[in-house]
Chains A and B, each alone.
Chain A
Amino acid sequence: MPTGDDDMQWLHKDLLDVSQLSTREVASLFETARYFREINSRSVKKVPTLRGKSVVLFFAEPSTRTKTSFDVAGKRLSADTFSLSATGSSLKKGETLKDTALTLQAMSPDAIVIRHSSSGAAQFLAERLDCCVINAGDGRHAHPTQALLDAFTLSEAWGGFKGRTLLILGDVAHSRVARSNVILLDRLGVKVRLCGPRTLMPSGVETWPVGVHRDLDQAVRGVDAVMCLRLQLERQQAGLLPDLREYARLFGLGRRHLDRAAKGAFVMHPGPINRGVEIDSDLADSPESLILEQVAGGLAVRMALLFLFLSRKTNE
């Protein structure tokens, strides 16, 4: 069984954001993920590594892919996974997040994977619970497992990060995916550019380690990959953009843009995709698209994370 570096200990109780991870820990995580990816290609896709461990999937916001990914990751490692969703949960009946969390903890899970619409909700839980808390997306704040799987996918596709440039395109202001990716990829040595209308750029972006572009034709020039972000339809109602047609015309990624990028540049999307809005439908299905690799890599990365966090105590 891999343990990352020879004598590296996984010291974190929780995964709240990528900023807590050193590059060495990320490398170790990726090494572990590569090992688990191999399991996913076997005919019997299950190992007994986490037998007897239980993982609660507490998704207080709708999610299909992330929740399924964690569920499958846990099951392939023989952990027991339990789901709790917002609809039908006591949160809907007015119970506070704290009380729900304490109730869950009383059932002594080894980890709680939380998705919540409030920024900071994962940290709120982690400060109050003894078990491991893994942030599967808190409001607009952070989505560390998505960033880790994106970086893992890029590292496999590029063969390394040195000298690479990535463009993150779209609604950065409301994107936890973008926030976590900027932190992680910058730390890994990737040059990051952002492009989108000013109304969808976060306040204080000028202090981020990124280049900010308004014009997609310029932004895409020479980049090694473009990560499109999902555009939520509420942004139009909130008065942040006039309509989807104009948005797609100015900031939808098409073949003509990719032709300006570096040779062999890739296209990514955290899903679910609005085909024809943030990305041309054809491009999503093109050979340059890493979208399905992201999903497969996500499973391996989440297996690696569950393994590192849940076997932490026995390592000590």
Chain B
Amino acid sequence: MSGCQLAVRGATLPDGRGKGRRVDLLVARGKVLELAPAAGKTPAGEAEEIDASGLVLLPSLTDAHTHLREPGYEYKEDIASGLSAAAHGGFGNVMCMANTNPVNDSASVTELMLDRAKDSWPRGPRLFPIGALTRGLAGRELAPMAELAEAGCVAFSNDGVPVSSSEVMRRAMEYASDLGRRVIDHCEDPSMNPASGVNDGVLSGRLGLDGQPDVAETIQAARDVLLAEYLDLPVHLAHVSCRRTVELIAWAKSRGVRVTAETCPHYLLLTEERAAGFDSLAKVNPPLRTRDDVLALRQAVREGVVDILVTDHAPHADCEKEVEFDAAPCGVCGLDTALALTWTLVREGELTAGDLVRLWAEAPCGLFDLPLNRFRPGDPADFVLFDPGRSWLVCPDSLHSKAANTPFLGRTLEGRVRAHFLGGRKIV
């Protein structure tokens, strides 16, 4: 076949529920040329041949919620190291939040982010900044969203600093809608133990910590879905952590509200008990909840009530986390570990590989209008060769992020990215 530059032979392509099928992927000019049943016979001419037997072929993933800390907090992470973690973690599209210093509330900050990404990873992963919803994330004045959108911001969010004023939230949703951009809201009632990083419940009562109740999330989410219904506008709820919010979203969707939502691997795998030894690696906002919440979220991502998975990658320096629990910052790293963690859910039968592709690629690309490979001729040749049998220890040396603040530190995970291609070119 003429022009074929790359032939990936014998990879397993997941297909919904089953074991998947073995395929050959042919790439030409950075695009998918053909996806054929593995025969080893498709003539590839001069193409580079890759033996991918035993490897799973996935589209390059999208992470719609990260904190890459640049500008301002480069000691935690910078765009180069964050994108390195993304590249090795299987993410080709990365959206980064605006709570940098200065805040991403002007085109110059957005442009700086995009320049840094281009300089450090010219072949990708591609960076898609999220602009501030309000100026300085202060929750009072609207950020210059048109300017930000023109500079390249793909969505708007006040993530990290919940918008307490419903009036400001309403106007921000209206203004963003004129630009065709979605608003991502960090749902947290700011009067109820905000950012305490531990769930209000049995554990917080036992340890004597101020817990954040799950209703603090649901109350704010309820406001947002009611506004979305009232205005007939879309809203996207960030990092949903509890059953109560899942049930609210299901109710809103049943009414036709244009609400979408995300959750993170740690909310699908860990409970509040992970913080039992005052381990600040388990301190995250919203906090880890209960077993019942974990089960509700697993069901919600299976059924699409929660639409997408994100990492909420929130790197912090070791010295910031190695303090008393109440003094430690909230946040966990996720880009390096997300795919392996999600694969554990696939292995356990909680999710199918098809769910994984939907939650980490198809759905987020659809929501934010990002490039997606569906392995149809002409699609961008963005793909990951994933080795599901490869086990690895989560430790600072095995993580590509600058930070290692993950509650999975010290755990052995199964499954790792063997190679990652964007536009037909190998990035790692």
* A interface residues with partner B (beta carbon < 8 Å): 96-98, 116, 118-121, 123-124, 138-142, 173-174, 176, 179, 202-205, 207-208
| Residues in B neighbouring A205, C-beta threshold 8 A | 205
Closest Cβ of chain B: how far from A186's Cβ, in Å?
Answer: 13
A204 with B278: CB separation less than 8 A: no
Q: Which of A97, A123, A140, A203 contacts B277 (CB 8 A)?
A: A123
B327 with A118: CB separation less than 8 A: yes
Closest Cβ of chain A: how far from B213's Cβ, in Å?
Answer: 8
| Residues in A neighbouring B326, C-beta threshold 8 A | 118-120, 139
Bound: A185/B206 CA distance, A: 16
Closest Cβ of chain B: how far from A214's Cβ, in Å?
Answer: 17
What's the A-B contact tally at a CB cutoff of 8 Å? 65
Bound: A179/B327 CA distance, A: 22
| Residues in A neighbouring B203, C-beta threshold 8 A | 204
- The answer to whether A118 and B205 touch (CB under 8 A), given A96-B319, A203-B200, is no
B208 within 8 A of A: yes
**Further pairs besides A120-B209, A202-B208, A204-B204: 17, Cβ < 8 Å:** A97-B327, A116-B324, A119-B208, A119-B326, A120-B278, A124-B324, A139-B209, A141-B208, A141-B209, A173-B205, A176-B208, A202-B205, A203-B200, A203-B205, A204-B201, A204-B206, A207-B202
Bound: A205/B206 CA distance, A: 8
Which residues of B (240-290) have their CB < 8 Å from a CB of A? 277-278
- The answer to whether A98 and B205 touch (CB under 8 A), given A120-B278, A123-B277, A123-B278, is no
- The answer to whether A142 and B208 touch (CB under 8 A), given A121-B324, A203-B201, is yes
* B interface residues with partner A (beta carbon < 8 Å): 200-209, 211, 277-278, 319, 322-327
Q: Looking across the interface, which residue of chain A has its beta carbon closest to that of B278?
A: A120
Bound: A232/B23 CA distance, A: 69
Bound: A140/B206 CA distance, A: 9
A96 with B323: CB separation less than 8 A: yes
Q: Looking across the interface, which residue of chain B has its beta carbon closest to that of A207?
A: B202
Q: Looking across the interface, which residue of chain A has its beta carbon closest to that of B206?
A: A204
B323 with A119: CB separation less than 8 A: no
B204 with A141: CB separation less than 8 A: no
Closest Cβ of chain A: how far from B290's Cβ, in Å?
Answer: 10
A98 with B208: CB separation less than 8 A: no
A119 with B201: CB separation less than 8 A: no
Closest Cβ of chain A: how far from B277's Cβ, in Å?
Answer: 7
Bound: A96/B322 CA distance, A: 9
Q: Looking across the interface, which residue of chain B has its beta carbon closest to that of A139?
A: B208
Across the A-B interface, give the 10 residue pairs with the lowest CB-CB distance, nearest first. Answer: A140-B208, A120-B278, A204-B202, A118-B324, A202-B205, A204-B205, A141-B208, A203-B205, A119-B208, A120-B325
| Residues in A neighbouring B207, C-beta threshold 8 A | 119-120, 141
B322 with A98: CB separation less than 8 A: yes
| Residues in B neighbouring A140, C-beta threshold 8 A | 208-209
Bound: A89/B200 CA distance, A: 33
